Amino acid sequence: MVELVVNGGSHTLEAPVGRSLAETLRDGLGLTGTKIGCNEGHCGACTVLVDGVPTLSCITLVHTVEGRNVTTIEGLRDHPLVDSFVRADALQCGFCTPGQIVSASALVEANPEPTREQIRHGMAGNLCRCGAYPKIEEAIATWQG
Ligand code: FES
Ligand code: FES
């Protein structure tokens, strides 16, 4: 069993030793907004916040985050970044988008007016196979509307 705090709610669920946080969120809690791309810590699609810090949930064992605050894209549905991604048309297939928004939320929390260079640096761990980078950058640069 594992005790998880996700998007402000507490959950107790079965999780064998070795189960990743990403699998647990998706299969155990039905939070399928968190995507699994490479499943090896390279692409950023699975990014969630653990105590506010962007974390690759595919390579994080669920038992290591017991009792800590996990935030997924579902917990950020009212974040202004969601609208700014839509306004900037910052996606094509959308597979990378939840991870992009989760990472961007931590970036703007720490630095509400990041420069383009700071955005590129802060978002370097989130890959987009569709190459939507210029529009993703635009969305983050204009997130406050
Ligand atoms: S799915 Fe986790 S980094 Fe790619
Ligand atoms: S929008 Fe398709 S991978 Fe980024």
Cα–Cα distance measured from residue 12 to residue 50, given in angstroms and rounded to the nearest whole number: 17
Mutate to test the pocket of ligand 2, among 95, 123, 133, 138 (most ligand atoms within 8 A of CB): 95
From first to last of its 145 residues, what are the pLDDT tens digits of the chain? 999 999 999 999 999 999 999 999 999 999 999 999 999 999 999 999 999 999 999 999 999 999 999 999 999 999 999 999 999 999 999 999 999 999 999 999 999 999 999 999 999 999 999 999 999 999 999 999 6
> Which ligand sits nearest to residue 48's alpha carbon?
1
> Which ligand sits nearest to residue 101's alpha carbon?
2
Is 129's C-beta closer than 6 angstroms to any atom of ligand 2?
A: yes
Strand-strand pairing, 69-71 and 2-6: parallel
Instruction: Look at the block and give the residue holding tokens 């700071």.
Output: 118
Task: Give residue 145 CA to ligand 2 midpoint distance, Å.
Answer: 23
The answer to whether the beta carbons of residues 46 and 35 sit under 8 Å apart is: yes
Cα–Cα distance measured from residue 80 to residue 85, given in angstroms and rounded to the nearest whole number: 9
Is 38's C-beta closer than 6 angstroms to any atom of ligand 1?
A: yes
The whole model's pTM is what? 0.96
Task: Collapse the DSSP code of 85 into the 3-class scheme (helix H, G, I; strand E, B; otherwise coil) and give the result.
Answer: helix
- What are the chain's domains? 2-74 (3.10.20.30), 76-141 (1.10.150.120)
